[in-house]
């Protein structure tokens, strides 16, 4: 089992949900408003006057075999608007 953390520009929410539905990934935890900026480039998302947009974040626990298809779809979405940003991070997860 893996944990996938996704941080993304808020406007990508519908597209992220569509990806999850397409891949039949059901469960997730969602944070609507988070602040951040990319480590290399892209626009900051601080929710301020100078940088008014915000990010959202999602944590998903899923079987290993669904991770690569999800990462592929997230990468394609990122390529559609690279300055806005969406990033996924994969971590091992134990179910007890």
Domain 2-92 carries which CATH code?
3.30.70.120
The DSSP code sequence of 47-74 is -SSSS---EEEEEEEE-GGGHHHHHHHH
| CA-based end-to-end distance of the chain | 11
The distance of Cα 64 from the centroid of its chain, to the nearest Å, equals 17
Spatial separation of the C-alpha atoms in residues 84 and 80, rounded to whole Å:
9
Tokens of 11: 């406007």
Nearest by Cα to 74 from 86, 64, 65, 91: 86
> What is the value of pTM for the model shown?
0.90
pLDDT digits (tens), the chain, 96 positions: 999 999 999 999 999 999 999 999 999 999 999 998 877 777 888 989 998 989 999 999 999 999 999 999 999 999 998 778 899 999 999 987
Domain positions in the chain are: 2-92
């Amino acid at each position: 089992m893996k944990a996938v953390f996704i941080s993304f520009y808020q406007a990508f929410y519908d597209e992220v949900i569509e990806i999850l539905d397409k891949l039949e990934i059901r469960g997730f935890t969602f944070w609507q408003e988070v602040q951040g900026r990319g480590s290399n480039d892209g626009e900051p998302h601080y929710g301020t006057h100078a940088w008014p947009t915000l990010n959202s974040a999602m944590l998903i626990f899923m079987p290993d075999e669904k991770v690569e298809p999800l990462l592929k779809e997230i990468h394609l979405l990122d390529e559609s608007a690279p300055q806005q940003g969406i990033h996924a991070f994969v971590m091992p997860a134990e179910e007890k």
